[in-house]
Amino acid sequence: MNLNYVSEPLSINNIALPNRIVFPAFQTNYATSDGFVTERLFRFYGTIAQGGSGLIIAGAMAVSDDGTPNTNALKINNDKYVAGLKELFSLIKKNGAVPAAQLLHAGRQTLSAMTGHPLVAPSAIPCPVMKETPLELDEHGIKRIQDDFVNAAGRAKKAGAELIELHGAFGYLIGAFLSPYSNKRRDEYGTDKALFFTEIIEKVKRKVGDMPISCRISADEFVDGGLTLDDTIKITPRLVDAGADVISVAAGTYASMAHMAPTRDMGEGVHTHIAQGIRDVVEVPVICAGNIRSLEYANNVIREKKADLVAICRPQVADPFFVKKSVNNQPVAQCTDCGTCLFFLHGASAVSCPQNPEL
C-alpha cells in the first residue's frame, strides 16, 4: 500500500505535524460534571496518541458556562482547568502526537437544564432538535463571549496546546452566527454574518501570536435556508484574512445530524468534494472529514489535492491503533456504524463503543 502522501510531514507556523492524519474533536462526556479532566480522558487520549495520528484535537471544551454542550463536557472557562489540561496535552505530546484544543460555545444547541443558564444565540429561534428558545445576544453578550474565546485560547496555550481550533461548525454559536438559517439579526452581526467569527479570530490571534488557529466550519449545512458551499467559499477567505491558519471542513447541524457523523451508506469520503471546494479558494491547509475509512483513501485525498489533512474519527474510536495497524497491514477493529458512540441520541451518559471494550 502506497501511503507516501498521507505520511508526509506538514509545518504550520511554528508546529511540525509528523503526518497528515488528524484525530478530530470528539465529545466523550468523560469529564467531571464540572468540566475537569479525568483518568478516563487520560486513558482515552493517551491511547489514541500512541496510535499514530499526527494531530490530536482534544475537546470540545466549553469557553463559557452558558455554552456547555453536555453534562460532562470539558471546560476551559477558568484558570482552575489549566493544570489538568496541561497533563492531558503533555500526555498526548509524550505519546507522539501534536496536541490541540477545540474551543466551543454551544449556543442554542444545548439545554438550560444542562448549563444552569438561559440559552443564547444570534436570534431567538429554537434549534428544531433541542426545541428551547434562546435569548438573542445583545452587544454586551457578544463581546463577553468573544472575550471568553480569547481567554480560553490563552489558557489552552498556557496548558501546552500547540494549535487552537475554534468550533464554527454544526450550528453551535459561531456556526449559528454564520448561517442565514439561524441568524436573523438586523444589526451589523446580521448584515455581516461572518463578523462575530472574524472578530473572534482576530482577537484570539492577538492573544496567541504564532500559534496556529484552525477554524472548523460546516461548509454545507444541508438544511433549507442554511449555508451551502456557494456561501462558504465566500466566507472562508475572510476567516483566513482574519488569521485562520487552517480550515477544517465538516458539514451539517443538529437538524441534519446524519451529515455530522455520516454513515457508510452515504459513501466513503462523502464530504471530500466540499473540502476541495474550500481548498480551491484558500491558501492555508484544509482538513477534510466524514466517513474516511482507510489510509489508502486518505492518501488519495492528499495526492489528488482535495485536502491537506484528513480527519479520521470513529475508525480511531473503534480501534485507537487504526493508523499504525493500517500502515503495517495489520487487521483493525472496524467501526461498524452502529451509532452507539452518539450517546446523546439514545439517552446514554457517555461514549462507549462495542468494538472497543477498553473505553
Ligand X SMILES: Cc1cc2nc3c(=O)[nH]c(=O)nc-3n(C[C@H](O)[C@H](O)[C@H](O)COP(=O)(O)O)c2cc1C
What is the set of active-site residues? 172
Confirm or reject binding of residue 342 to ligand X (CB under 6 A).
yes
Contact partner, 169, from ligand SF4, ligand X, none, Cβ < 5-8 Å per class: ligand X
Give the binding range for ligand SF4 (CB under 6 A) out of 12-20, 73-81, 302-310, 330-338. Answer: 330-338
Burial environment of residue 161 by CB neighbours within 10 A (0 to 12, 13 to 18, 19 or more): buried
- C-alpha distances out from residue 81 to 37, 77, 101, 180, 278, Å: 8, 8, 13, 35, 35
- Cα 107 versus chain centre, distance: 15
Q: Return the residue matching grid coordinates 466540499.
A: 274
* Pairing between β-strand 21-23 and β-strand 55-62 as defined by DSSP bridges: parallel
With a CB cutoff of 8 Å and minimum separation 6, the contacts of 71 are: 29, 33, 114, 349
d(CA 317, CA 170): 20
d(CA 204, CA 164): 9
Q: Which of 119, 313, 353, 359 is in the footprint of ligand X by CB under 6 A?
A: 313
Q: Which of 172, 314, 322, 326 is in the footprint of ligand SF4 by CB under 6 A?
A: 314
d(CA 24, CA 58): 7
- C-alpha distances out from residue 304 to 174, 211, 281, Å: 31, 28, 16
d(CA 169, CA 247): 11
Nearer to ligand X, 175 or 226 (CB): 175
Contact partner, 20, from ligand X, ligand SF4, none, Cβ < 5-8 Å per class: none
With a CB cutoff of 8 Å and minimum separation 6, the contacts of 80 are: none
Confirm or reject binding of residue 21 to ligand X (CB under 6 A).
no
Q: Which of 27, 70, 77, 214 is in the footprint of ligand X by CB under 6 A?
A: 27
Least distance CB 304 / ligand SF4 (angstroms): 26
- Cα 91 versus chain centre, distance: 20
Residue 184-223 contact track with ligand X, rule CB under 6 A, x = bound: --------------------------------x-------
Least distance CB 357 / ligand X (angstroms): 17
User: Contacts with ligand SF4: how many residues (CB under 6 A)?
Assistant: 12
Least distance CB 58 / ligand X (angstroms): 10
Nearer to ligand SF4, 49 or 359 (CB): 359
Which grid coordinates are listed for 264? 457508510
Exposure on the CB side of residue 177, measured as CA atoms within 13 A: 27
Of 262, 288, 260, which is closest to residue 276 (Cα–Cα)? 288
Q: Which of 338, 345, 348, 349 is in the footprint of ligand SF4 by CB under 6 A?
A: 338
Confirm or reject binding of residue 349 to ligand SF4 (CB under 6 A).
no
Residues 49-108 that bind ligand SF4 (CB under 6 A): none
User: Contacts with ligand X: how many residues (CB under 6 A)?
Assistant: 25
Give the binding range for ligand X (CB under 6 A) out of 25-33, 77-85, 109-117, 225-233. Answer: 25-33
**Which residues are at the interface with ligand X (CB under 6 A)?**
24-27, 59-60, 102, 167, 169, 216, 250, 260-262, 289-292, 311-314, 341-342, 351
**Which residues are at the interface with ligand SF4 (CB under 6 A)?**
314, 317-318, 335-341, 353, 355
